[in-house]
Structure formats: C-alpha cells, structure tokens
Amino acid sequence: MRLYIAEKPSVGRELAKCLRGPIARRDGYLVTKDGIVTWLFGHILRQAEPEEYDEKYKRWRAEDLPIIPQQWKLFVDKDCERQFAIVKSLIDKADEIVHGGDPDREGQLLVDEVLDYLGNKKPVKRILLNALDEKSIKKANASLRDNRDFFNLKQSALARARADWLIGMNLSRAYTLAARRAGHEGLVLPIGRVKTPTLSLVVRREREIEHFKPVTYYLIKGMFRHENGSFEAQWKPKDTMAGLDSENRLIDKNIADEKLAFFKDEPHEAVISSYQKTKKQEPQPLPFSLSTLQVLAGKRFGYAPQLVLDTAQKLYEKKLTTYPRSDCEYLPTNQFGDAKTILSHLAKTGDELVSSWVPVANPQQKSRAWNDKKISAHHAIIPTTVQADVTKMTAEERNLYHLIARGYLAQFYPVHTYDQTKIEVQYKDELFTASGRTERDLGWKVMYQSMKKKSASADESEEEGKEGKDEDESTKTLPAMKKKDIVNWQRGRLLEKMTKPPVRFTASTLLAGMKEIHKYVKNPEAKKQLKDVYGIGTEATRATIIDDLIRRKFLKAHGKKKYLVPTPVAYLLVDALPDDLTYPDATAIWEDKLHSMSEGEGTLAEFLQGQIDFTRKLCQKAEDIHMEVKGENVCPRCHQGVLIQRKGRNGVFWGCSNYPKCRMTCNDKNGKPDLEDAKARLAHTPRDMAPAAVSASALAQQQRSASRQLPAAMNAAGTSYLSADYAASGRYQETAADIEALNSLFSPADYAARMEEDRKSYESQQQSAWQNWADKPKYSASPMEHMQEPDGQKEQDKTYLCPRCREGHLRSLHGRNGVFWGCSNYPRCTATFDDDHGRPLLK
C-alpha cells in the first residue's frame, strides 16, 4: 500500500482528487485506488522546552546558561495527538511512503521529522507540488524522486531549527535576567537569531532620523541654446572651491549668488565638450518570489506582508497560482509549453487591463526568466492553467492576481529599448552636465505605464528593483548635437534644496531590507560576501517575524502609511545587546551557510558547534552588560541594580536586584530600605570601593600591604594609602589616586585565587585549630558587646548584624557538632559564633 503524507489537509484533498477514484473518506485520511492520502497540520512535533530536559531549568538562573541539549528531544504537540496516532498507524501498514511536504526547507523537515521520530525504515519517495491544479499534480506524481535526494535540505532545516532554539532559549533568558538585575521586574526580552537584527534595523533608522540635522544647499541650472533646440544643464562645482561640504554640495548662498551673477555676464558662448548617445535595452522584470510580491503589494496597495502571504496562499489553494512561499524568480523550461494556454485564459479573467495586454504577448518569445539552472525545489509565482474569474475574488485576491498575471505577461513582451544621452558643457571654465533618454520601443513597459498616467511611471520603476530616477532627468529629451558644437547661455536659476532624513521603515520596506541585508551589515568585507545571499529569514517567516515584533509591542505602526516606530522597550533591548546580535552580519552569514548546507556543503554538527560557541560567548557577555536602572531605590554600592524587599529567616530586609554580583543588603525602615544607614556603613569602610565579591579577610590583608603595592609614581609623590583625614575623623576619605590604587588590588584575574585561598584557610582553621566543639575559639564582637536590647523586643524577632563585615546577618546553622551562628555573607565573610540559648555568643 502506498501512503501519501501531505503537509496540510487542503493539499491532501487536492492530491487525492488527482488519484484514481473512487475516494472513500475516513477519519484523518482518504482512500483511493492509487493509495491512501493522509496529512499533517504543519509541524505536529515540537522541540522540547528547557525544563523538559531537566526540571531545574524551570527556574531561570544565569548560572545554568547556556543550556546545550546532549540529545535533542521532540514531543507530539498536544493539539495534534489524534492525527499523529492516525499517521503512525498508517505508516505501520504502508509498503511505500510518498513525502508530500511543501517544496521548501520547512516542508521537507516537517514530514521527515515524523518519519525519523517513528524510526521508519520503509522506502520514501518525494512529490514536489509547485501548484495544485490537476495537470501540475499529475505531472508531479508521474515524476516522483527518492526522498534521500533531499537529505541535505532536511539537514539545513534541522540546523536552522536547532540554532533558533539555542539562540532563543539561552539568550532570551540571559538578557531577561540582566534586565531584572537592573530592576526591570516582569520584563521578558525575547532574543531571536533573525528577529533581533531586524528590530535593530528599525531602532538604528529611528535614531538616524532623531539625530538628523538638515543641511541647506544650492544648485545652479543653466539654459543653453543650440541650433537644434534649447536644453537645461546643471553646474558641477569643482571640489577645490570654497563653500562646499564633505559631499561636494554648495552650502554658502553668497558664493552661489556670486557664481550665478558670474554666469550671467558676457560672454555667453559655451562648447559641448562631451556628447554620448548609447542605445540601451532593459529586459523584462522577473516574475515574483514571495518577497518581491510582498514588497510591491505593500508599495502599490499598502498591504502588510502577512496579508500578502495569506492572500497568495488562498489563490494557491484555489489552484489559480503556483506555490506562494517561493524564494525563486525564475521558471523551468519544461513549463514554457503552458504559455499559450495560460495567456488564453488570462484574456478571459474579467480584468480589462490584463485582457487588453494579452493580444500583444508573443507565446513563442522566451525571456531570461526561463532558466533551469536557477531553479531549486520551486519556481517563481505565476498563474496556473486553471481559468480564473476576478469578479468572484476579494479585492485583495483580485489585486494580487493582477500583479502576478502582469509579471507573467511581461515575459512575452519585447524588451524596452531607448537611447541614453549624456552631455557635458564647458562654460567660463566651469562644467555643466545634462542627461536624457529617447524612447525607441516601450516594450513590456507599456503595461507598467497603463496603471497610472505616464508622468507617474517613475514611481513604479521600483518594481524592477532599481532606484527611481528624478522624473525630470528620466523624461528629458535632448536636441541632436555633437561634440565641439557651440551653444549659448540664455538664463540661469538658483535652486535652494534641503537634505532629507532617511525614511522610516514600513512593514514592506523592512521586509525588503531583510532580503537585501548586505546593505546593513557593519563589516565591509562581509558586505561584499553577502551581496548575493538570500538575506535573513525565509520567504515564509519574514512577515511573521515583523508581525511578532508588533504584537509583542517592540514596534508600532504610526500614521496613514503605517511607518514602524520602535517602543521604549525596543531601545532598552537593542542598547543592552552586543553588536553580535544587533547587527545582521553573523545571521546573514549563517543563512548563507544554511543555504550551502542544503546544497551539500558543510555538516549539521559543524554548523551547530558554531552556534553553541556563539551562544556561550554571548551568555558570558550578558553577565557584564549595563542596562538603564529602573526603580526608585537604586543600590548605593553598584548603582546597577535596585533594592528589593525580601523576607529572610530573621525578618524583612532589602537586597540588591544585581545579586549575586552585588550582595548589598539594607535594613527595613517602615516598609522602605534604610538607605541612610546603608550609605553610612559604606562611607565607614573602604569596601565600597571594592567589588562586592572581595572577602573581608582579603580586604584587611590588602589594606595592610597596600603601601608596598602602590605604584612607584604615587610613592614618589608622597601619597599615602590612607589620607591624613582618616586618623582625625575615623573615616576613609578616598582620593582619585587612592581609588586607582585600590582598583589595581582588585583585578578580576586575582579574585578567584584569593577566594580559593580564603576557602582553604577557613577549612584548615576548622580542621587543625580545633578538633572538638568545646575547643572552637570564641570570636570577639567588641562593636556589639555593650548593645542593649530594645524594650519589649522578643528574642526570636531580633536580627544580628555581623560584627566583622557589618553587611551580612548572623544566622543559626546546624553543623556536625551542633548549632552555631555564621554570617550570611559567607564565603566572603567567614565569621562564626557559638550558640548561647538561641542567640549568638558575641562575647
């Protein structure tokens, strides 16, 4: 028995219609004489969550990162359990399986992962459905391929999915925790391999606009008279003259006025120093990929990318157009024979413009779009051989079908030919230039001009992916002339112009930016390398990524044209992240590698190892980032966190949100942190200048030896480690030189060694200095020896400030030899005290 597994129910139904009947309907599948057709619902297997690898990952902790699965796990999606059971039972009964996923990377993976999950060993064929009309399906079914031919495509999809998991799960946790350390409670920062660089494009563009300073500059245009007619040319100032900015624009109006007056003076004779007339041809624009269709529909009709994808999907399921999630703009030559049928059907769609274009189209003409070498698993989006009726379509379907039909028709129109003319005029030892074009044959452009009046045709030149030219320049016709002809100055005019800020992204132009990502990379070498890659994201996911950024309130659509504007949380996220995540260089290179992997270059293991190394590096960077602190009680020690109320064994206290990097604690005073007491304690100890991780014993040792370790320059200047005010005031008054000296003592490289030394010293003291509990030394607590208990305070409600470090609180602990009291600041403070009837013995 042959089993067809389609990607979704709608595809399964159309596939069954093209097999020999009758069709018997069953729960979750269809039975035909040629085999059974069942379906999935896209990805019915999901990747495991971190806590499904280990229960400890349920709690987000920086010390657990990065999370690297040793064995990748998949689980059946809860909503798909019933259909999965049906598919499993059919696979068990099948003799041969036909993989019917969409002809792209994700389509390949979502069926393959089910077969791999079930350990299938039965032969698997692959059917490539680029269209759902009967002719296309039967043709595809007659030319099945071995599914092993697409192993590399599956590996590429698997690499993409696992890379997204590594980046998303680890870095979202790492930078969310960093935000919470800075007081942003409840904030979740989703990091994505493609999503984050995309968001950064919008944030950087907005900042360019905010910081843009308009510049006024001046142009001079002169009208010259030739015996065959007049023409206007623009003055090109010499780059050595005064009054120019860095981009060679004249910004000094006085000089501009002087120059115009100079040109008006006699003599008025000039000469044509250069005249070039070239015949040029502009080929037909290529048919649409999904991205080019989304960009044009956004500009032409204001449609959001997701709406374009959804509408194209509906046209595909109605069998009117081919597979919509295509990243290809070329057509296979074996479909060239369908041109005559498709053109005849386009004449009867009910679209008057399309019908008027068909008679001129030549079905025998073959454009550059017909190229088998450019075809991968799918081809450009074109109409099918099924007759369409636009009167029965929605407005969105009608407009998209019109664009797709026009793009197909253009392949059977002549190329656009014109004469391009460029001239240079020498006048009073200054250069004037002019350019123009004369149309020879509009060719395919006649269709693009008919949608609007001809004067607006330049607006649609962007459809071919080219920069629109100034309308005056593109439509100007120059008189016939030749080099060394004499012309005369007639008049001139001074134009005042102003530089404009860059335009904000819309959903459509942002999608185009994702596709042409090489324009936005930071590294010049990477820019060259990435010019020909496929951008970041895929045809099917780019629109979803933009929509997700809007849904999560990182972006909002503003104004009638729905320009995308970043929200405050978007600035917070982008500002906190390193360039590795905010610039698209690495992501674009990975996309290129994924594409190469689908063609057999590179391995899954190599790619993932690179992702693991990258993830590990960025998790480490997250430990040291500095975010804008949010909250009213900023930590007086580290200034990178806020004090948060906590409940300990001995009552309420306040601790820094930057814990464990900062272990600042503070007493509670009427529901608020006692900041005055905390600041006073910091002022009385040089520890406030040291990292929180330096132990009290190490600090004391450093203070004793500081004078021997000070830089020679400081000793030579006679600067002492402690200021002269110290003895008199009892306080340590630091100077800039003192701080520099302390910083030299607390280098990160020495910290780990000092901590290990303190730990060994503490253990050695316990093991050698005393063997029995009764022999344990009693530490002096002179600062607290004569403290009086407040009237009415119960013993169990009291908290004991550590008399050694004066930061931690003493807590009751149960050791091998009984109860004792230790500092909560351990291991940085190793003070211990005996228990005396439920309280620490401080004498």
Q: Are 214 and 673 in contact (CB under 8 A)?
A: no
Cα 218 to chain centroid distance, Å, stands at 39
Distances in Å between the Cα of 64 and the Cα atoms of 57, 620, 663 are: 7, 12, 20
3-state class of 224 per DSSP? strand
Tell me which residue of 153, 240, 164, 244 sits closest to 196, measured CA to CA.
164
Please report, as a single letter, which amino acid is at residue 117.
Y
Tell which residue, 666, 813, 612, has the closest CA to residue 171: 612
* Cβ contacts of 196 within 8 Å, gap of 6 or more: 573, 574, 577, 581, 582
DSSP state of 600: T
Q: Cα–Cα distance between 114 and 747 in angstroms, integer? A: 53
| Whole-number Å distance between alpha carbons of 30 and 53 | 37
- Partners of 818 in the beta sheet? 815
**Nearest C-alpha neighbor of 282 from the set 471, 455, 419:** 419
Tokens of 608: 């993932």
Just list the catalytic residues: 323
Among the residues of 410-519, which ranges form H helices? Answer: 445-449, 471-475, 507-515
Cα(360)–Cα(367) distance, integer angstroms: 15
Beta-strand relationship, 35-39 and 2-6: parallel
d(CA 358, CA 700): 91
Take residue 382 and report the two structure tokens written for it: 């074109």
Alpha-carbon distance of 4 to 98, in angstroms, equals 5
Of residues 508, 512, 505, 463, the one with CA closest to residue 304: 508
Task: Report the C-alpha gap between 515 and 526 in whole angstroms.
Answer: 15
Pairing of strands 665-669, 430-441: unpaired
For Cα atoms 566, 209, 586, give the angle at the middle one, nearest 5 degrees. 60
Pairing of strands 124-126, 145-146: antiparallel
Euclidean distance between CA atoms 514 and 295, whole angstroms? 11
Q: CA-to-CA distance for 85 and 77, rounded, in angstroms?
A: 12
The token pair at 491 is 């008049």
3-state secondary structure 672-719: EECHHHHHHHHHCCHHHHCCCCCCHHHHHHHHHHHHHHCCHHHHHCCC
Task: Report which of 659, 660, 645, 514 is spatially closest to residue 588, judged by C-alpha positions.
Answer: 514
Specify the residue for token string 């100079």: 262
User: Contact 592/533 with Cβ under 8 angstroms?
Assistant: yes
177 close to 576: Cβ distance less than 8 angstroms: no
> Are 294 and 500 within 8 A, CB to CB?
no
Asked if 247 contacts 400 with a C-beta cutoff of 8 angstroms, the reply is no
Which of 516, 504, 445, 502 minimizes the C-alpha distance to 474?
445
Give the C-alpha separation, 387 to 779, whole Å. 95
768 secondary structure, DSSP code: I
CB pairs under 8 A, 24+ apart, for 244-250? 245/215, 245/217, 249/215, 249/217, 250/217, 250/218, 250/219
